[in-house]
Amino acid sequence: MTENSASNPLTAETSSTSSARPVAVYGAYGHTARFVVAELHRRGRPVVLVGRDGAKLDAFGADYPNAPRRVAAADDAEALDRAFAGVAAVVNCAGPFSETTLPVADAAIRAGAHYLDVAAEQAATAALFDTRSEQAAQRGLVLAPSMAFYGGLGDLLATVAIGDWPSADEITIAFGLDSWLPTAGTRLTGETNAGHHLVYTKGRLSPFSYSTEISTWEFPAPLGKQQTNEFATADQVTIPRHLDTPEVRAVMNLAPLTDIRDPATPAPSPADDRGRSEQTYLVEAVVRRGDRERRAVVAGRDIYAVTAPIVVEAVERILAGTHTATGTVAAGQAFPAESFLRALAPEHLTRFETFTELPVATTTG
């Protein structure tokens, strides 16, 4: 049964090192969180299941009978403190992140635990960078927002692509999806985040409004030339925090944008024994400096499922002490980016390639 008080708390004394202590997953019964819990379990990491709905926790927790279950609302600081007592890290999978990021991160800091989330919401990620970094760094803690398909993956790719260049004139993250079947959480995020989109241009974050203007992008095969729209993503918040560039763009091909804008588009459904859907993606980062460019490309299956190995790989590296920075950090700032991506391939990323020193004229069509 769920724990809703101080009964049976895990304390810091249950292990002398953080590497042996459990990881709390907040919003554990959500779509993406289920992949996160499964990946932690696969790696042998003890898990504490935390959420706002006790009945949903109990139903989901039946598959993990050894995992404590703790009920805590994001606006209940005392319940969060009980839920995170003794954990080494907290992975926040509960949106809207505009409501959960700061209170859950604060509770993690009070617990002496690292904090990671899978937020795609730009404002929530920016707020964590702007308001909690120094506090976490003083305690030797890592706060890693947007450690997911949107945010972490593009950030790692951009870091690989820029390589030894000290700066870039422009960084573009291009998303090529065969479809986008949104979860209920994605739908809710779209509703709560309406009118709060940002773009990084001229060296700062500025308001961004989607338009119907169509351009083209020459993706690597098999996608090839695709019609695209400008897109707002967490990558535009994380990348400028550690890579020197005045411009971070994101573009996406039209098929997934059409899906996400259609209220009749169904949610993803399992198509293999891991629960992954059949949806596929290709993402590339293109870094331009003068008349030269560098690229890094990944491909894989199911944008929600791949978030789990991204955030769990980050958890494991942080708990092993191999991260390179504390405070609020972007993926490519905290970890050696190429090593991180290669750790995900080929099991979770079916493709990972880099291309260096290409003429700029080959980038777009």
Taking residue 103's Cβ as centre, other Cβ atoms within 10 Å add up to: 17
Q: Give me 128's structure tokens.
A: 């964590």
Instruction: Please give the CATH number for the structural domain made up of 12-144.
Output: 3.40.50.720
Instruction: Give the model confidence (pLDDT) of 267-286 as tens digits.
Output: 999 999 999 999 999 999 99
Q: Does the structure show a pLDDT above 90 at 176?
A: yes
Q: Does the structure show a pLDDT above 60 at 228?
A: yes
Q: Tell me the CATH architecture of domain 149-305+343-362.
A: 2-Layer Sandwich (3.30)
Q: Give me 184's structure tokens.
A: 């209920």
pLDDT of residue 10: 28
Which of 305, 303, 314, 306 lies closest to 116, judged by CA?
314
Residues in a beta bridge with 335: none
Only one residue has tokens 């020197």, namely 244
Is the separation of the CB atoms in 57 and 29 below 8 Å?
Answer: yes
- Structure letter (DSSP) for residue 3: B
Which of 117, 256, 263, 118 lies closest to 191, judged by CA?
263
More confident residue, 77 or 17: 77
Q: Does the structure show a pLDDT above 80 at 362?
A: no
* Phi, psi values for residue 103, rounded to 5°: -65, -35
Mean pLDDT, the chain, integer: 92
Name the amino acid, one letter, at 129.
Answer: F
Instruction: Give the model confidence (pLDDT) of 26-47 as tens digits.
Output: 999 999 999 999 999 999 999 9
Q: Does the structure show a pLDDT above 80 at 360?
A: no
Measured CA to CA, the distance from residue 244 to residue 124 in angstroms comes to 22
Is the separation of the CB atoms in 302 and 268 below 8 Å?
Answer: yes
With a CB cutoff of 8 Å and minimum separation 6, the contacts of 98 are 121, 123, 124, 192, 193, 196
Instruction: Give the model confidence (pLDDT) of 42-62 as tens digits.
Output: 999 999 999 999 999 999 999
Measured CA to CA, the distance from residue 38 to residue 41 in angstroms comes to 5
Instruction: Give the model confidence (pLDDT) of 329-338 as tens digits.
Output: 999 999 999 9
* Phi, psi values for residue 139, rounded to 5°: -100, 5
Q: Does the structure show a pLDDT above 50 at 4?
A: no
Is pTM beyond 0.85 here?
Answer: yes
Measured CA to CA, the distance from residue 123 to residue 1 in angstroms comes to 36
pLDDT of residue 7: 33
User: Which of 10-14, 86-90, 360-364 is least confident?
Assistant: 10-14
More confident residue, 365 or 90: 90
pLDDT of residue 211: 81
Percent of all residues in the chain with a pLDDT value above 70, rounded to a whole number: 92
Which of 123, 252, 125, 94 lies closest to 193, judged by CA?
123
Q: Does the structure show a pLDDT above 70 at 195?
A: no
Q: Does the structure show a pLDDT above 70 at 254?
A: yes
Is the separation of the CB atoms in 90 and 84 below 8 Å?
Answer: yes
What is the widest separation between alpha-carbon atoms in the chain? 63
User: Which of 141-150, 195-204, 258-267 is least confident?
Assistant: 195-204
More confident residue, 211 or 74: 74
Instruction: Give the model confidence (pLDDT) of 319-359 as tens digits.
Output: 999 999 999 999 999 999 999 999 999 999 999 999 877 77
Average the pLDDT over 171-189 and give the result: 94
Indicate the domain borders of the chain: 12-144, 149-305+343-362
Model confidence band, residue 288 (pLDDT cutoffs 50, 70, 90): very high
